[in-house]
A and B are shown apart, each in its own frame.
Chain A
Amino acid sequence: MNIFRLLGDVSHLLAIIILLLKIWKTRSCAGISGKSQLLFALTYTTRYLDLVTNFVSVYNTFMKVVFLAASYATIWLIYMKFRATYDQNHDTFRIEFLLLPVTILSLVANHEFTLIEILWTWSIYLEAVAILPQLFMVSKTGEAESITSHYLFALGSYRGLYILNWIYRYYMESYYDLIAIFAGILQTVLYCDFFYLYITKVLRGQRLQLPA
């Protein structure tokens, strides 16, 4: 554990809590992509299967359980409790275009050809692109509420901080995982356009509105 990893995890946790609170307090999931949230739930489920096979630390187990529970709670809020507020007409990204290449890539580029390892790899590749339906939704409606942009900023920062963690671990522990590094860089790059808008607009008190 190093400071970058810890800040990354805190940022990730913060993002998930912001989203849950936003939906709960406003009693609405308007502007939130249910498809992205489904992809994140699939990500955590397939990655954290090792919860039952491999103990790392109390911290690790605790965070995994929190991420899984929060993710399923979010799905429940969007698809059950506040279903009437779900903006289905704007959540039109075709996720099969993500699932297919992610599946093929995880079968080809993995550390070991075993079920649990392929599912871990699948989750890493899937996480990298899971936000695309949400970003697509923002670009389609041309705007995002401030709280939604805070969520996106925290979620995007998390993998960016992980990159610093990987650089640190490479030099300090001679540890590196090319699959995680490659996917993590892709994941962070996908947020760059959003980061620019967030810094130039939201932080200056303006709405996140895309040019027409």
Chain B
Amino acid sequence: LRGGAGHDEL
């Protein structure tokens, strides 16, 4: 799983 913080979608 990739870590959070960088959600670039809506």
Contact = CB atoms under 8 A, between A and B. Distances in A.
A120 B7 contact: yes
Contacts of B5: 54, 112, 117
Contacts of B4: 110-112, 114, 116-117, 120
Interface residues of B, number: 10
Chain A at the B interface: mostly helix, strand, loop or mixed? helix
Nearest to B8: A56
A60 B3 contact: no
Contacts of A210: none
A162 interface: yes
Contact of A60 (B1, B2, B8): B8
B10 A180 contact: no
Contacts of B6: 54
A5 interface: yes
B2 A67 contact: no
Which of the four size classes fits the interface of chain A?
20 to 34
A180 B10 CA distance: 11
A111 B10 contact: no
A63 B9 CA distance: 10
Interface string A33-52: 00000000000000100100
Nearest to A64: B10
A178 interface: yes
Interface of B: 1-10
